[in-house]
Amino acid sequence: MSSVGIKELKNRLTAYIRLAKQGEEIVVTERGRPVVLMQALRKAKGVKSLEARLARLADRGIVTLPDRRPPAKIKPVRAPGMLASRIIVKERR
């Protein structure tokens, strides 16, 4: 386990992420006091947030996360005629 200050972490973030991915735990300190533990998703235990749980599932290959955010507002489209669900029910009879 290694320890790194916030300024050093910011300056060499890629290197520390690489170390975490390789399985090393990194303690991030602020003014000498530990504030954050960085570790690979595979080793994280007890994650609570939805984003962290989804990230763990994606890391294991169980789910695929979307590449982009969905549009903020989707306008419903009104088509003339009967609803598709009613047409299907009518055809089944």
- Domain of residue 21, CATH code: 3.40.1620.10
Q: What are phi and psi of 80, to 5 degrees?
A: -70, 155
82 within a domain of the structure (yes/no)? no
State yes or no: pLDDT of 9 exceeds 90: yes
The pLDDT tens digits of the residues spanning 43-61 come to: 777 767 777 777 778 878 8
Cβ neighbors of 37 (< 8 A, separation 6 or more) are: 25, 26, 27, 28
| pLDDT of 18 | 93
As for how many domains the chain has, the answer is 1
Residue identified by tokens 């003014």 is 31
Residue 33 is part of which domain span? 1-64
51 within a domain of the structure (yes/no)? yes
23 within a domain of the structure (yes/no)? yes
14 within a domain of the structure (yes/no)? yes
Burial classification of residue 44, based on how many CB atoms lie within 10 Å of its CB (0-12 exposed, 13-18 middle, 19 or more buried):
middle
| pLDDT of 12 | 95
79 within a domain of the structure (yes/no)? no
pTM for this prediction: 0.56
